[in-house]
Amino acid sequence: EVLAAFAGFIRQRIVDFSKEWRALAYSFRPSDVARLLQHDDYEKAYLAPREENVAILYVDIAGFTRLSEQILKTPSAVADLVETWSRDAVEILWSHGGVFDKMVGDCIIGLFGPPFYDEAEGERLARAVECARDIRTMTNLLADRPQFRDKLKAEGVAVSTGVNLAPLFVGQFGPNSNFTGFSSGLNHPARLQ
């Protein structure tokens, strides 16, 4: 009975760990998820809402409405572009140490600084700018991919970006405990974009 109870405890802990990993992996790169899960109180220590200076990146596909309506036309072609572009953009965001806040339409919002705030504010901003450049390069090359070559080669694909360093109240919010930030500083990169 003791062995069965212990096995049940271990099984439940593995299930709980897997759920935590998946929930955190929505926003954070794998190395940050692993670092968070090393701490028993990671939610309180790193994810509880707090005010911090954060670099914010807004990036979306330029002329997306026109691309959708006049060039791609079918819902499946539009979805393929958005899925491919957003997946690759988030991977680039994570490679620069950013946090995936959310996707609004074809716009990706990334945060630089959370959850550990290890580097100086200038470094956060520099990483956001470099990330924007790399996403732009990836986007410019989308038309060369086989699934898009026929429809997008003549037009090409570009992005609009906005970057800002601003104080945010950032952490987990809402009924789903989404990791996000709030402040008027979020409006500036949206306008720049």
Instruction: Compute the Cα dihedral for 24, 30, 32, 37 and give only its sign.
Output: positive
Task: Tell me what pLDDT residue 19 has.
Answer: 82
φ/ψ of 57, rounded to 5, equals: -120, 125
With 80 as the cut, is the pLDDT of residue 130 above it?
A: yes
Task: Tell me what pLDDT residue 15 has.
Answer: 45
pLDDT 10s digits, 27-84: 999 999 999 999 989 999 999 999 999 999 999 999 999 999 999 989 999 999 999 9
Confidence band (pLDDT; 50, 70, 90) for 150? confident
pTM of the model: 0.88
pLDDT 10s digits, 69-90: 999 989 999 999 999 999 999 9
Task: Tell me what pLDDT residue 10 has.
Answer: 57
d(CA 158, CA 143): 10
Query: What's the token pair of residue 171?
Result: 């952490």
Task: Tell me what pLDDT residue 34 has.
Answer: 92
d(CA 108, CA 60): 6
51 touches 168 (CB < 8 A): yes
Task: Tell me what pLDDT residue 155 has.
Answer: 81
pLDDT 10s digits, 97-124: 999 999 999 999 999 999 999 999 999 9
Confidence band (pLDDT; 50, 70, 90) for 131? very high
